[in-house]
Amino acid sequence: MLPCTQKIKDLDWKPKGIILSGSPYSVYDKGAPRVDPDVFEAGVPVLGICYGLQEIAWNHGGKVDPHDRREYGKATIDVVKTGNAHMDALFAGEEARVDVWMSHGDQLSVCPPDFEVVAKTSTAPFAALAHKTKPIYGIQFHAEVTHSPRGKELFENFVERICDCRRDWNMETFIDKEIARIRELVGPKGRVIGAISGGVDSSVAAKLMHEAIGDRFHAVMVDNGVLRAREAAQVYEMLSQHLGVNVTIVDASELFLGRLEGVDDPEKKRKIIGNTFINVFEEEAAKLEAEAEREEEEAKKAGRQHETKGKYEYLLQGTLYPDVIESISFKGPSATIKTHHNVGGLLDDMKLKLIEPLRELFKDEVRQLGKVMGIPAHLVGRHPFPGPGLAIRILGPVTRSQVEILQQADTIYIEEIRKAGIYDEISQAFAVLLPVRAVGVQGDKRTYDQVIALRAAQTTDFMTATWYPFSYDFLSKVSNRITNEVQGVNRVVYDVSSKPPSTIEWL
């Protein structure tokens, strides 16, 4: 993965193909990222996606303009067969009409010379282009996301058939290579402390690290005061009993809640939580090292055999590729959508070095990895829970009383989802406490209480998502339980926004 400004002549290897990704820029903006022109003279296939298509057109004499009708979400393209095998290669085997996912405000207004249209929509007449003689292709839609259902087939056409690449990567080889990489990095005596939230990402990362270095890995679950109800106890049982991992629970709730007091800006919350996590992990690593030194000293005095272990130099995190994409902005490929506490919320002077074995995987790949490693299905299928916890699901200042309200509402919501037997149909479900109050009538009295928003998303890669279509009876039951059982809430709403234009989490 390289920025589009990478000079082809500076590479010491030749690519089999080049894919130009999307970008928040417009190609006509001053300072917009520009691809190295040598990309188009490298003699290898090129595929441009969204901004990538527009950059191809811009470089070849086409024209791009803002459009008065933006396209976000589902669209249907009409595939145009040219009768030329080379130009038709990208959509080989496709139907005449294909559902795709759009996310753009600009589009081509003039097709560049030497290119032909190979797909269009009612509002985008240049939805896909192919060069007449060179293997250069561009698509306005996002084939890389889950909600372009035929996107995988398009990439197969480009990567395997057009670029002639071999498809020999699998999860088993990933495990072997990653374990070997970890062992080489950590060394024969080095030790690793692990940041564990109980979600599938950190749990799979912990299992992988345990397989690599055994008891030289120690997981730490920090109770930051903004966990779900009974979360710390459940995580301890899951990791220690089901996965065989050494784990310590650290209650730092007062520290976190104290630092979050009066803070309502979501980016500040993430930074505070990320920084405080590192403070706690570094302190815990020092305690574990001191304890190990005492045990070694006692063993020496008693004349017992003992193994000298190294220091805790590394911190394990379950960072995934969507976290990286949404947190770090290289000039061109992406914009910072939000700072993930485990990517953009870390201390600049942190003492521990990071190990992120899942950093190049998506959520569905992590679940697959967990299954291959023998992690029980009910753990692998658990809905994600963000590292900053309920702090980013409380829209406003975080207090212990606000956390308790949200914990109660969230517990009821998930309980009813499980009772309905639809938990595994939903990728992520949670409640959000809104920073507004609404008038209500409870017990024949006027109330002025808070509002809970419910969110349920369906996705596999978490880069795009649609909302789950609950029945009216289900929503009625959940709303009734929350307003009856949670003191301080008199209104419940359901979020029916897709990603994009929304994100899955509210903050």
Ranges for all domains in the chain classified under CATH 3.40.50.880? 8-162
State which of 225-229, 274-278, 489-493 shows the largest mean pLDDT. 489-493
Between 264 and 337, name the one with better pLDDT.
264
- How far is residue 269's CA from residue 57's CA, in Å, rounded to a whole number? 41
At 72-84, the pLDDT tens digits run 678 899 999 999 9
Ranges for all domains in the chain classified under CATH 3.40.50.620? 171-381
H or E, element range at 103 = strand 97-110
Residue 274 has pLDDT above 80, yes or no: yes
CATH superfamily of 8-162: Class I glutamine amidotransferase (GATase) domain (3.40.50.880)
Give the confidence band of 319 by pLDDT, cuts at 50, 70, 90: confident
% of the chain exceeding 70 in pLDDT: 93
Residue 331 pLDDT: 44
% of the chain exceeding 90 in pLDDT: 54
CATH superfamily of 171-381: HUPs (3.40.50.620)
Please check if 502 is assigned to a binding site: no
- How far is residue 112's CA from residue 60's CA, in Å, rounded to a whole number? 6
| Mean pLDDT value across residues 227-238 | 86
Q: Contact, 224 vs 253, CB < 8 A?
A: yes
Determine the 3-state secondary structure of 95 from DSSP.
coil
Residue 2 pLDDT: 82
Please check if 103 is assigned to a binding site: no
| Mean pLDDT value across residues 52-62 | 93
Please check if 52 is assigned to a binding site: no
At 381-418, the pLDDT tens digits run 888 888 788 999 999 999 999 999 999 999 999 999 99
Residue 118 pLDDT: 95
Residues 6 or more apart whose Cβ sits within 8 Å of residue 313: 186, 190, 191, 192, 352, 353
Residues 6 or more apart whose Cβ sits within 8 Å of residue 373: 175, 204, 207, 208, 211
Ranges for all domains in the chain classified under CATH 3.30.300.10? 400-494
H or E, element range at 449 = strand 445-458
- How far is residue 463's CA from residue 428's CA, in Å, rounded to a whole number? 13
Write out the CATH class of domain 400-494.
alpha beta
Please check if 201 is assigned to a binding site: yes
Active site residues: 50, 142, 144
Residue 342 has pLDDT above 60, yes or no: no
Residues 6 or more apart whose Cβ sits within 8 Å of residue 92: 157, 161
Give the confidence band of 330 by pLDDT, cuts at 50, 70, 90: very low
Residue 328 pLDDT: 46
Between 69 and 150, name the one with better pLDDT.
150
Residue 168 pLDDT: 85
Please check if 203 is assigned to a binding site: yes
Please check if 274 is assigned to a binding site: no
Residue 71 pLDDT: 67
* Nearest residue to 354 via CA among 363, 366, 345, 362: 345
Mean pLDDT over the full length of the chain: 88
At 25-55, the pLDDT tens digits run 888 888 888 899 999 999 999 999 999 999 9
Give the confidence band of 68 by pLDDT, cuts at 50, 70, 90: low
Question: Lowest-confidence range among 70-84, 214-228, 340-354?
Answer: 340-354
Residue 93 has pLDDT above 50, yes or no: yes
| Mean pLDDT value across residues 482-500 | 94
* Nearest residue to 244 via CA among 372, 357, 375, 370: 375
Residue 69 pLDDT: 66
At CA 362, angle to CA 361 and CA 363, rounded to 5? 125
